[in-house]
């Protein structure tokens, strides 16, 4: 069951919770807008259901909300940013704005980030670049939740990739995907609803496929073995090694390139205790006019999209979607009708509000 809430009230509530940790109005808005935008786009795995994660992280000293990101290495077109353990959304917003600034001046702006935290949905930042008339790329590594092909130990992250490209008449192309079969949040959604996960999403501590979301999540927490599968699934039959390779690609561009953490060094433990996670990101803002006239690019993007959408449909299917299309439609629907939240998420938010002394009126 879901509870329908007003998106503006949800945004204001979430902002107020973040502000109780002493961060600025602007930073609180960025953090809250990222989470609420995920719910608005129909991505509840990365929406306000994650608020408790950030609250607990700030309380426990894994996230330092007062710390600001700083540039530690820079050229006209590139930079490396140290997030200083701050809120991932704040760090990523800073780095994305920097990539945009460099992209406008140099034709391409690339910013690698180390020592950050979970930054929400990757598409939030690629779309920031898109909104400036450029092509945007956003990558991040994450906690080790994914087993490599033929493995049974979580060592890679879900390591999402997002690319946003402008169009003229169609909706923009916005790819935002994990390099695993699913993100951890999807398992949490199934677990909250008490439903079995589809076969091929995850494996147990022995590396065998399981449908028990709760068991997988429990094993993840205890680092007891098993985890999520890479894109393509188990073994080589459906090319799981390709998803595995894409995950490593993200780690190279984020963790290795920035001089930060990668694989199971993200969210590592020191003397048995979890230390600040050192999540790493990568952003690129590409000035399209440096390659082809912007109008020509947009026309060709429209043509590409139309060719895909108008191609022959499989039996029983009446529509072919383009990446980002469903999210745009859900956003518009939820803007009119309100945002659906799972009852457990709604109750959890109420509890967070009570603990933070923030009025809960959604």
Q: Kindly state the percentage of the chain with pLDDT values over 70.
A: 100
pLDDT in tens, 256-286: 999 999 999 999 988 777 789 999 999 999 9
Beta bridge partners, 163, equal 137, 175
Task: Please name which of 79, 62, 78 lies closest in space to residue 70, comparing C-alpha atoms.
Answer: 79
Instruction: Specify the residue for token string 């890679």.
Output: 156
Contact, 355 vs 202, CB < 8 A?
no
* pLDDT at residue number 273: 78
Give a yes or no: residue 9 inside a domain. yes
Residue 23 sits at φ, ψ, to 5 deg, of -90, 165
Looking at residue 56, which CATH number applies to its domain?
Answer: 1.10.1530.10
Average pLDDT, the chain: 96
* pLDDT at residue number 200: 92
* pLDDT at residue number 34: 98
Looking at residue 211, which CATH number applies to its domain?
Answer: 3.30.60.50
Instruction: Answer whether 0.85 is exceeded by the pTM.
Output: yes
Q: How many domains is the chain partitioned into structurally?
A: 3
Instruction: Specify the residue for token string 């909250």.
Output: 192
Produce one character per residue of 301-311: b if its CB has 16 or more CB atoms within 10 Å, e if not: beeebeeeeee
Tell whether 146 and 265 lie within a shared domain.
yes
Give a yes or no: residue 70 inside a domain. yes
How far does CA 335 lie from the centroid of its chain? 21
Instruction: Specify the residue for token string 């390591």.
Output: 159
Contact, 157 vs 163, CB < 8 A?
no
* pLDDT at residue number 1: 81
Tell whether 130 and 197 lie within a shared domain.
no
* pLDDT at residue number 272: 73
Tell whether 208 and 340 lie within a shared domain.
no
* pLDDT at residue number 183: 85
Of 310, 333, 348, the last residue of a domain is: 310
Residue 293 sits at φ, ψ, to 5 deg, of -55, 140
* pLDDT at residue number 184: 87
pLDDT in tens, 152-192: 999 999 999 999 999 999 999 999 999 999 988 889 889 98
Tell whether 167 and 97 lie within a shared domain.
yes
Give a yes or no: residue 56 inside a domain. yes
Whether the predicted pLDDT of 41 surpasses 80:
yes
Over residues 56-79, the mean pLDDT reads: 97
Tell whether 131 and 192 lie within a shared domain.
no
Over residues 131-142, the mean pLDDT reads: 98
* Token pair in block for residue 143: 């906690």
pLDDT in tens, 12-25: 999 999 999 999 99
Angle at 129 between CA 124 and CA 134, to 5 degrees: 145
* pLDDT at residue number 192: 87
Domain that holds residue 10: 1-60+325-362
Question: How are beta strands 78-82 and 108-116 bridged, if at all?
Answer: parallel
Tell whether 89 and 75 lie within a shared domain.
yes
């Amino acid at each position: 069951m879901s509870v329908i809430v007003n998106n503006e009230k949800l945004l204001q509530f979430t902002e107020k919770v973040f502000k109780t940790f002493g961060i600025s109005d602007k930073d609180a808005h960025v953090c809250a807008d990222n989470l609420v935008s995920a719910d608005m786009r129909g991505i509840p795995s990365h929406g306000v259901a994650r608020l408790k994660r950030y609250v607990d992280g700030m309380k426990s000293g894994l996230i330092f909300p007062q710390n600001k990101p700083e540039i530690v290495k820079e050229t006209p077109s590139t930079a490396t940013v140290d997030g200083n353990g701050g809120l991932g959304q704040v760090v990523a917003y800073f780095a994305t704005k920097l990539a945009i600034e460099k992209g406008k001046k140099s034709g391409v702006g690339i910013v690698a980030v180390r020592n950050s935290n979970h930054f929400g949905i990757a598409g939030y930042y690629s779309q920031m670049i898109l909104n400036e008339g450029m092509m945007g790329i956003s990558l991040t590594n994450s906690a080790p939740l994914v087993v490599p092909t033929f493995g049974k130990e979580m060592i890679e992250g879900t390591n999402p990739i997002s690319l946003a490209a402008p169009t003229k008449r169609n909706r923009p192309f916005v790819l935002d995907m994990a390099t695993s079969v699913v993100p951890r949040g999807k398992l949490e959604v199934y677990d909250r609803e008490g439903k079995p996960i589809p076969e091929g999403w995850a494996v147990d501590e022995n590396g065998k496929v399981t449908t028990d979301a709760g068991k997988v999540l429990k094993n993840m927490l205890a680092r007891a073995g098993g985890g999520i599968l890479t894109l393509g699934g188990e073994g080589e039959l459906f090319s799981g090694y390709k998803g595995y390779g894409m995950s490593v690609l993200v780690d190279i561009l984020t963790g290795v390139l920035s001089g930060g953490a990668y694989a199971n060094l993200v969210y590592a433990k020191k003397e048995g205790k979890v230390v600040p996670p050192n999540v790493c990101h990568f952003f690129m803002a590409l000035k399209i006019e440096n390659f082809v006239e912007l109008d020509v690019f947009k026309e060709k993007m429209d043509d590409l999209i139309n060719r895909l959408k108008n191609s022959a449909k499989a039996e029983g299917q009446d529509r072919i979607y383009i990446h980002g299309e469903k999210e745009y439609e859900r956003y518009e629907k939820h803007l009119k009708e309100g945002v659906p939240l799972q009852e457990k998420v709604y109750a959890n938010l109420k509890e967070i509000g009570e603990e933070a002394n923030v009025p809960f009126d959604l």
